[in-house]
Structure 1
Amino acid sequence: MLGGLLLGTGIVALREALDTTIKTSEALGELTSLPVLGSIPYDRNSARQRIAMDDVSTSARAEAFRKLRANLQFAQVDDRSRVIVVTSPVPGEGKTTTAVNLALSLADAGIRTCLVDADLRRPSVAGTFGLVQDDGLTTVLIGQARVEDVVQQAGGRLAVLASGAVPPNPTELLSCGRMAEVLRELAAGYDVVIVDSAPLLPVADTIGLAPLADGVLLVVRASKTGRDQIRGASESLNRMGVRIRGSVFSVASAFKGKGYGYGYGPAEVPVPRPSAGHEESAEVAPSSGGEK
């Protein structure tokens, strides 16, 4: 029994020593020396439902994206970015989910926003909204259409420029002079342009695209992204002279309580007030639903 206990303890200690992933937003901030602008909690439904920002959502995940929007706005009070690229060190970290919901959150606040799918390797923005993918960014870049001809509306509140057909040369297309012109054109027509881009480390697409933007958001997934991967992504952007506005910590451990009371946790349903002369006071009863 003693030997088994010591062996188990040793295995746990070894796993901790070999695990170089980031577990907390504080650790992410210390590693990158960047402000962590948002911490997006884990939601078991997020794989099936990428959009958290519907018209009435008060889930913890939706509120986290609203907080990201507010923190981003405060972070650029003196130097406002009009074109922001959202990327991540490696695939599967939630960059597209972050770009989609940040763009929706900005649009909900009355900010004229355009979401651009510049991940020309694995585009997914059009599919998220049920839009046409074949006509979009690449169609404009090769001169077959104008921006205004291919911009689509998502739910009547957000403009979306889909990726267009997947090209054989995405790195060259995204770093060309025409791409810079398209971003300037979009920035002139919208208050904010959110650009979903490819991951930094596997391909060179975002290294050529990021310098054309006003800033970058780096999305890091909790307990998945290694420290060396985060350092490598940050150093790649710094070498290009790119302004990293901050990081976003995705799939973080969710709050385990019953809700914060201001829109977090379960929705609240008001109980009808008692009639005049009734001695019982009205209360607010939490519903049994709610998103984790």
Structure 2
Amino acid sequence: MLETRGLTRTFGDVTAVDGVDLSVPAGTLTGFVGGNGAGKTTTMRMVMGILRPTAGEVLWQGRPATPADRARFGYMPEERGLYPKQPLLRQLVYLGRLHGLTAAAATAAATEHLERFGLADRAGDKLESLSLGNQQRVQIAAALLATPSALVLDEPFSGLDPEAVDAMADLLREHAARGVPVLFSSHQLDLVERLCDSLVVLSRGRVVAAGTTDELRHRGRVRHRLVVDGDAGWVRDVDGVSVLDVDGGTAVLELLAHDAADRVLREALARGSVRELSPLVPSLSEIYREVTA
């Protein structure tokens, strides 16, 4: 498990990260979301040991993370760090050797990842000759090729086309399936919702929500939609119901009493047909807007 406890970083009078507690269990994909300037990149840099925390600590397997531990983490920084004038395969092999792979193992791993991303025929080309999206694919391959014990990825899906997004998602699931904790940031909330087992929402340097998607969806009162024939304005008079909106035969409700749904249904059936009474499951975008408001 990869964890942070009370992780804090100040720059002069500015507190960029303020007491962040997060947990990335083994074998899970954890999405790290927040607006620009929320503190995601600073947090990830402290996890990797690039920045020293002002306070707090990073834990690996329940103990303070060491440089040796971090050397086995796969990291993709926000600012891409590959060599633009070096051929793809040569520099991936070089980076694999820095992670302790033999030349043969590094070559095999680099070749496999280039094939996975559809770049095998570009292995001898210089990085600068590739499109930005393909450069992003190579950067991802660099983070993954040394069989990392944990993955910390800053906006790994940025600039990728749908085919590359699917290939990347498959790779992350494969690493998670072998027990690797995966933490990645993204502004693509629909993608985070589709991929992640859990998520952490950061705002102004602080964690404002954390948990599984289901936990976050049910953190407040569950809203319901009622659809009936005719006007639904009568629902305002039902005890134990808070009416948020009525538009013709459709109403959005909060059921405040345990038997409120029964009361609503009885009254609705007495007046005609009931087309729908169902919970409204908020999207991740709606949850995000609510917790960061």
- TM-score class normalised by the smaller sequence: 0.3 to 0.5
| TM, length-normalised to structure 1 | 0.36
Flag the structure with larger Rg.
Answer: 2
Choose between structure 1 and 2 for higher RCO, CA contacts under 8 A separated by at least 6 residues.
Answer: 1
| TM, length-normalised to structure 2 | 0.36
